[in-house]
Amino acid sequence: MSAVRTIAKVKPFLAVTAVVLGLAATAGPLTAAGFSREVSGSPGVPSSRIGEPTVTDTVLYADDSPDLFAKAGAVRDALGFPAGAARSGRHVKDGLQNAEYDEVADLDSAGQPISLTQFDGRGRLVSAVRFDLPPRLSAKVTSDQASKAAQGVLARSGLMPSSKARVEPNPVAGGWDVHWPRTEAGFPVRGDETSAHVWQDGRIQSVARVEHEVSALPSKRLGQADAKDVVTHQFDAWFTGRGSGYAVQNMDLEWVEPNAAFDAGKIGAAPAPCRLAWVANVTPSGAAAEVIWQITLYVDAGNGTVIGGDVVE
Amino acid sequence: MRRAKALLVSVLLAVSALGATAQGALAYRGDVWSNSDSFTAHCLGFTDTWPKQLYSLNTAQIAALGYSPIGGALGPGFTRSSFLSNVFYDYAVYAHTHGDNYWAASGAPNVDSAILQDPGTGNCSSFSRDAIRSSAIKSATYGTFYNLVIMSTCKLGSSASTMPGAFQIEKTKSSTDRKFYIGYATLTYDSSQFRFESALWSYLNGAPNHQRTLYQAFTYAASIGGYSVPDSANPFQPNWWGNPNYNGTPGWM
């Protein structure tokens, strides 16, 4: 143990040494040029970092945004979150999540957030979460009790999902995850849902709602056989001669957001409305299976083009 | 005498500059690694763009948290030797690649988790050639400490993972040291990793530096929902170990 501690001290020493060496390297120009020096980005950070999305916010005050703070307080109380010693608000333009929202946080006496609520531009609840650690030694509610608890608070919070709940144990965080998938025109919207995490003692830790814009249904819909032809044609083109095989596991119609998964030219493009697509889950074999467990392909149900997908590495 | 005075002034100026520099820019190195050659048209017939997107996101955000310089590599520079020869100097380590909990050389039931290096331009992945075992990483760290480790792979956030131990991070959620490990417990879509990590950084770095904790950012990101899952046996389950009150500030003290 003492050896570990001794070695552990080496790294801070290296950090300081690096600064000293850096100073030594710049000391000449510093003195000669009267401290003028160019402050550039961190060494080693690629130039691609420039132009990376950022998060900017504007402070919101309770006096100026009374409706927002009142709504946030009502949601906090409905969910059973503790009230803080103070509250803060902000309007956020979130370039990392491609979202814009109003946020109200309850703060403890040290100014640390103990919970927050976020609302979208239409004033609808997007997410609410409490930040205290989950209980570890309390009694455990059943999945049915967790589902009922979540349903009750969602109704009181103005979120009333109409679909059937799917309840999963969460061995990592403890308790249960309850999901209500969103459907539109009878088809699931991939990723869209209302969800809640219920602690093992039955209290709610978080609720969230994800809802994407959906395009009109295609006037003419590709059949499953034709869609499968598109998928096999695509995978034949990709895998032939590369020592890899594949098997199409399943194909279902879903609304999906087109993405840049297989087209670098689309990275950074503005999010587009969801389109109805055949979603094919494909399992690779051979060489590709060394690093990939599943490839998911989105085939536009209207025109049969590949509009994105996903990978499980 | 005049020369001595000039020297003294120079020394004082240098010392004050050192103080200012040291306060604002101690060299707390971070490495961001992303395997991309395994996922190019050469190996798969298509180029998977998620490795590049995750690399760009995490390079920028780990730097924004205060780690500098940011090393590592996207693609062929992510080799086992490069990873192992640099890891000792790191305070933050991020890796996006294929990862899993493999049997140790001593056999089942012992686990020795691993990540795969980038196979290099023109090559495709092979576990026997590309694996970087947690035991090899642990040896290369010489017992030194790490502030932030993110294994953006499948399964290295599961209870079986030996990867946290490679960085001297115990699998506890009540550490009081400045350390935090993030991994995913199950098989996970790249899009879900990107969504989760975007939300994590958005919350952590969306306020003046080090006002929020990594646990708060983790909890926020885990709570926003909307994560696609490959099948019902693999729900989206990110995991963490470390200090729930740690705000990401680089360094030990």
What token pair was written down for B227?
Answer: 């994560």
If asked whether residues A233 and A281 sit together in one domain, one would say yes
Give B52 to chain A, closest Cα distance, Å: 9
| pLDDT band at A48; cut points 50, 70, 90 | very low
pLDDT band at A16 (very low <50, low <70, confident <90, very high): low
In the prediction, which pLDDT does A253 show?
A: 98
B187 has a chain A CB within 8 A of its CB: yes
Distance from CA of B103 to the nearest CA of A (A): 16
Is A72 in the same domain as A111? Answer: yes
pLDDT of B4: 45
Q: Tell me whether residue A28 is in a domain.
A: no
Could you give the percent of chain A with pLDDT greater than 90?
69
What is d(CA A297, CA A274) in angstroms, rounded to the nearest whole number?
15
Give A245's pLDDT tier (boundaries 50, 70, 90).
Answer: very high
CB-CB under 8 Å, A260 with B17 = no
Any domain includes A37 = no
Q: Is residue A160 part of a domain?
A: yes
Residue B143 in contact with partner chain A when CB distance is under 8 A: yes
Same domain, A159 and A201: yes
Domain edge (last residue) among A132, A161, A192:
A132
Tokens of A109: 């006496």
The reply to whether residue A313 touches residue B190, judged by beta carbons under 8 angstroms, is yes
Q: Is the pLDDT assigned to residue B28 strictly greater than 90?
A: yes
| C-beta of residue A74 within 8 angstroms of C-beta of residue A128 | no
B20 vs A12 pLDDT, higher one: A12
Residue A36 lies in a domain: no
Question: Among A166-170, B1-5, B158-162, where is mean pLDDT lowest?
Answer: B1-5
Q: Please answer yes or no on whether A46 and B219 come within 8 Å at the CB atom.
A: no
CATH no., domain B26-242: 3.40.50
Inter-chain CB pairs, A–B, below 8 Å: 245
Pairing mode, strands B29-34 and B70-74: parallel
Q: Give the closest of B91, B206, B225 to A92, CB-based.
A: B206
pLDDT at site B41: 85
- Taking CB atoms and an 8 Å cutoff, what residues of chain B touch A11? 88-89, 91, 144-145, 252
Cβ distance of B219 and A131 shorter than 8 Å: yes
Contact A129 B219 (CB under 8 A): yes
* Smallest Cα distance from B106 to chain A, Å: 22
Whether A198 and A146 share a structural domain = yes
pLDDT digits (tens, 9 = 90+) for A119-142: 999 999 999 999 999 887 777 899
Domain boundary among A74, A101, A132: A132
Cα separation of B16 and B239, whole Å? 43
Q: Write out the H or E segment, with its range, that includes residue A129.
A: strand A125-130
Is the pLDDT assigned to residue B104 strictly greater than 80? yes
CB pair distance less than 8 Å for A208 and B226: yes
User: Which two structure tokens, joined as six digits, stand for A83?
Assistant: 């009230």
Res A66 pLDDT > 90: yes
pLDDT(A265) > 50: yes
* Per-residue pLDDT band at A291 (split at 50, 70, 90): confident
A161 and A128 both lie in a single domain: no
Is residue A92 within 8 A of residue B206, CB to CB? The reply is yes
Both structure tokens of A185: 């025109």
CATH number of domain containing A58? 3.10.450
Domain that holds residue A181: 138-211
Average pLDDT of span A61-85: 96
Do you know the residue count of chain A?
313
Domain boundary residue, one of A182, A211, A240: A211
Instruction: Give the chain A residue nearest B218 (alpha carbons).
Output: A131
Task: Supply A167's token pair.
Answer: 């309840």
pLDDT value for A269: 86
Distance CA B27, CA A12 (A): 9
Cβ of B18 within 8 Å of Cβ of A19? The answer is: yes
What DSSP assignment string belongs to chain B?
-HHHHHHHHHHHHHHHHHHHHHHHH---EEEEEE--GGGSHHHHSS---HHHHHHHHHHHHHHHTT--SEEEEESTT--HHHHHHHGGGEEEEEEES-EE-PBPTT-TT-B--EEEPP--TT----HHHHEEEHHHHHHHHTT---SEEEEESSSTTSTT--HHHHTT--S-S---SS-EEEEESS--BHHHHHHHHHHHHHHHHSSSTTSS-HHHHHHHHHHS-----SSTTS---EEEEE-TT----SS--
In which band, very low, low, confident or very high, does the pLDDT at A30 lie, cut at 50, 70 and 90?
A: very low
Q: What is the pLDDT of residue A274?
A: 98
In this predicted structure, the answer to whether residue B17 has a pLDDT above a threshold of 80 is no
A92, containing H or E segment: strand A86-94
Q: What is the pTM of this model?
A: 0.88
Mean pLDDT of chain A: 86
Residue A116 CA to residue A73 CA, distance in Å, equals 10
DSSP character for A114?
E
What is the tens place of the pLDDT at every residue in A186-218? 999 999 999 999 999 999 999 999 999 999 999
The yes-or-no verdict on residue A313 having pLDDT over 50 is yes
User: What b-and-e string marks burial along A273-299, b requiring 16 or more CB atoms within 10 Å of the CB?
Assistant: ebbbbbbbbbbbeebbebbbbbbbbbb
Who wins on pLDDT, A270 or A299?
A299
Nearest CA in chain A to B126: A290
- Kindly report the number of other CB atoms within 10 A of residue A28's CB atom: 9
ipTM: 0.85
The structural domain count of chain A equals 3
DSSP A84: P
Domain boundaries, chain B: 26-242
Residue % of chain B over a pLDDT of 90:
80
For chain A, say whether B103 makes contact (Cβ under 8 Å).
no
The vertex-B193 CA angle with B196 and B231, nearest 5°, equals 110
Same structural domain for residues A166 and A121? no
User: How close is the nearest chain A Cα to the Cα of B245, in Å?
Assistant: 10
The average pLDDT across A76-96 equals: 96
Q: Are A86 and A128 within one domain?
A: yes
Q: Cα separations (Å) of B84 from A203, B36, B58, B93, B142?
A: 44, 19, 20, 11, 11
Residue B56 forms contact with A (CB below 8 Å): yes
pLDDT digits 0-9 by tens, B39-88: 988 888 888 899 999 999 999 999 999 999 999 999 999 999 999 999 99
Per residue in A117-133, is it b (16+ CB within 10 Å) or e — as a string? bbbeeeeebbbbbbbee
For residues B88-110, give the mean pLDDT.
Answer: 96
Buried residues in A222-246 as b, exposed as e (16+ CB within 10 A):
beeeebbebbeebbeebbeebebeb
Q: Which of A43-47, B203-207, B223-227 has the lowest mean pLDDT?
A: A43-47
